[in-house]
Structure 1
Amino acid sequence: MQTNPTIAGVIDRLDMEDFPIGSKVKTPSGRVGTVVKHRGAQSRHDLFQRIIIEFDEPIGDSVALQPHLLKLIKVTTVTS
């Protein structure tokens, strides 16, 4: 018997790797920003990955959000 993974409780969530640094994303509040950093779990009590997003307006405004809260708008590849 095969089961549908969605029904079985498996959730396909986005991960930090789905949001490369330099990508444009949309936050739950509707603001658009650029991914500037990835941050892993900070301690035994904080097990969540977070993505640091810097907004264009106002300059210097930033936020750290979990990947499943973001919507990818544009992937920008960074070359070095």
Structure 2
Amino acid sequence: MEASLQELKTSPRMVPRIVYLPNCDRKGFYKRKQCKPFWGHKRGVCWYVDKYGMKLPGMEYVDGDFQCHNFDSSNVE
């Protein structure tokens, strides 16, 4: 994350772009559901990850309204 922030500070161009910031818990682990922002909407593409941020296969979807409890938590960790 430090590298991304440094790149933004030193970039010679001021081009608007979306910066993805992961959704983490208080202990610093990734929350199960991650979403990229999308212009004009609350959320864009969302996906599930394990607590270390590794994407779980077959768990990508569009529309941030899908609930985490619909996912079998036994596959996490």
TM range (shorter): under 0.3
- Structure with the higher strand share, 1 or 2: 1
Which structure is richer in relative contact order (CA contacts within 8 A, separation 6 or more)? Answer: 1
- Structure with the higher helix share, 1 or 2: 2
